[in-house]
Amino acid sequence: MFIVESYTLAIVFCFVTMLCWGSWANTQKLVTGKWRFELFYWDYVIGILLFSLLAAFTLGSSGDQGRGFVEDLQQASSGNIGSAFLGGIIFNLANILLTAAISIAGMSVAFPVGIGIALILGVIINYTGVQKGDPLALFAGVALVALAIILNAVAYKKTTASSQKAGTKGILLSVAAGVLMSFFYRFIAASMDVNNFEQPEPLKMTPYSAFVIFAAGIIISNIVFNTIMMRRPFEGTPLSYKTYFRGKFSLHLVGILGGAIWGTGNLFNLIAAGKAGPAVSYGLGQGATLIAAIWGVFVWKEFKNAPRQVSLLLAGMFLFFLAGLGLIIYAGTA
């Protein structure tokens, strides 16, 4: 299987994760007004599963290092399979809430608040599991990210003063998504031997196998979670599966593309964890908040016509995010 063999390449992979995790929501924005997020989300999770299988039977089954996908899956213990599967369930619930928040509050708010919280709590949780990297630099970087989140929330509050109910709902959904999102990665990492991908410990899984099981947890739990969302949506009227199957092929493709983009980022992040460590790898990947905020502010114009004070708050948010990410990268070199 393909393995990252240097810290520098691991950091590059983390930046790819950042771009993917911060950009997949553009596919949701593309269908806004044409396709409800609950319907989009079905195609999104299908895209994640399809990409995980494609990666497992290509990169995960080629080369001389590590274990091939089928061999690895056959020897994995039920406990490790269950851990990755549970990670998928937790991620799915968190991501449904995040997707709902995006539809209400926009990318430039839902991501910095939701994923920013996930970054802070997730780094702490993953560092507790595998203590790799300089803790002082790592948590100083996390603190700067926390300041960036606060600035973003203040900017959003000022922008949505005329629609406080919608603004509050968007923030609350983002916070709930962030808290849940901080836990999923630890369960995937626990199912892998992150210290030795070349000769992984027996009963543990490689990143490719763990990703497939994780994706299975997402799509199976989606039968429950998204069915509830369709029948009792946060906004709008209830939906039926007939509406989904009547959707245009092009709309389905957009959702599948969104899932494949997120899946690419997730796979690269899991592979990078072998050299960078789960805390650094996850923390950098969740720098997706910065990428999503850039999309929301500069492309989708989600703060268009906002007061000058809001522009200053957003500028401060970007600076704190960049400084925080820089410290997280430095932490991994120690």
pLDDT tens, residue by residue, 265-324: 999 999 999 999 898 998 888 888 778 878 888 888 877 777 888 889 989 999 998 899
> Taking residues 138-161, what's their average pLDDT?
81
Contact yes or no for 37/100 (Cβ under 8 A): yes
pLDDT band at 164 (very low <50, low <70, confident <90, very high): low
- The pLDDT > 90 percentage for the chain reads 60
* Buried residues in 102-124 as b, exposed as e (16+ CB within 10 A): bbbbbbbbbbbbbbbbbbbbbbb
pLDDT band at 162 (very low <50, low <70, confident <90, very high): very low
Q: Between the CA atoms of 162, 37, 291 and 266, what dihedral angle is there, to the nearest 10 degrees?
A: 150
Is residue 334 scored above 60 in pLDDT?
yes
Radius of gyration of the chain (CA): 19
Q: Is 134 exposed, middle or buried (0-12, 13-18, 19+ CB in 10 A)?
A: middle
pTM, to two decimals: 0.88
Strand, helix or coil at 205? strand
Measured distance CA(43)–CA(41) in Å, rounded = 5
> Taking residues 45-73, what's their average pLDDT?
95
At 171 the pLDDT is 83
> Taking residues 62-83, what's their average pLDDT?
94
At 129 the pLDDT is 83
At 286 the pLDDT is 81
Strand, helix or coil at 192? strand
Residues 6+ apart with CB under 8 A from 310: 155, 158, 159, 303
